[in-house]
């Protein structure tokens, strides 16, 4: 929060500014960040979308009432219309936008799914006690393996290290190639 302020951005409570903004984008990873009370206060035409990690950031269920009319505009775009004619624009029915809209290239979804699958395999095969309840980065070798699987998407080809090059760099010919601090 302090970095946001230091970078010159205004930091405010949603309830204090929701009447004045043109767009509300959630990205907290929490539940019920935008609730009905917020949406009741939004101005006409406010766009609401979720860029968090779950489909629970916007309380969409609270909009499923007889007094509100849902008008489907097109794929991923709905107008929610209040009795006084005010409408908000809800994107992707409040679901995580980058996962529910067609703007995410399939290779990005593939990289994400492959990374998650390999992480689960790593956890399953790891000796007992290697991983505690904590957050870990994917082992560098697996991270590079995921990348190598997707190079063909870009018609990219890598030159393999010679034994001499690998020895000079202090690396295995088969990776990982990046130092542990590199992300």
Interval 42-51: pLDDT, tens: 999 999 999 9
Residues of the chain with CATH 3.40.50.720: 2-100
Q: How far apart are CA 40 and CA 48, in angstroms?
A: 12
Could you tell me which CATH number the domain at 2-100 has? 3.40.50.720
What confidence tens digit (pLDDT) does each residue in 4-40 have? 788 888 888 999 999 999 999 998 889 999 999 999 9
How many beta carbons lie within 10 A of that of residue 62, not counting itself?
A: 16
- Listed ranges 63-72, 126-135, 170-179; the one with the highest mean pLDDT: 63-72
With a cut of 90, say whether residue 85 has pLDDT above it.
yes
State how far Cα 135 lies from the chain centre.
Answer: 17
Are 178 and 144 in contact, with CB atoms under 8 Å apart? yes
User: Rounded to two decimals, what is the model's pTM?
Assistant: 0.57
């Amino acid at each position: 929060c302090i970095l946001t302020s230091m970078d010159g951005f205004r930091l405010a409570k949603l309830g204090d500014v929701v009447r004045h903004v043109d767009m509300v984008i959630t990205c907290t990873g929490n539940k019920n960040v935008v609730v009905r009370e917020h949406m009741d206060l939004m101005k006409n035409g406010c766009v609401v979308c979720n860029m968090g990690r779950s489909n629970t950031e916007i309380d969409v269920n609270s909009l499923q009432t007889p007094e509100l009319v849902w008008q489907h505009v097109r794929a991923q775009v709905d107008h929610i219309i209040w009795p006084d004619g005010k409408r908000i624009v809800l994107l992707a029915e409040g679901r995580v936008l980058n996962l529910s809209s067609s703007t995410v290239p399939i290779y990005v979804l593939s990289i994400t799914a492959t990374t998650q699958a390999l992480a689960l395999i790593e956890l399953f095969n790891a000796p007992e006690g290697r991983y505690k309840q904590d957050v870990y980065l994917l082992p560098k070798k697996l991270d590079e393996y995921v990348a190598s699987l997707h190079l063909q998407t870009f018609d990219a080809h890598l030159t393999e290290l010679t034994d001499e090059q690998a020895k000079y760099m202090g690396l295995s010919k088969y990776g990982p190639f990046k130092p542990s601090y590199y992300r």
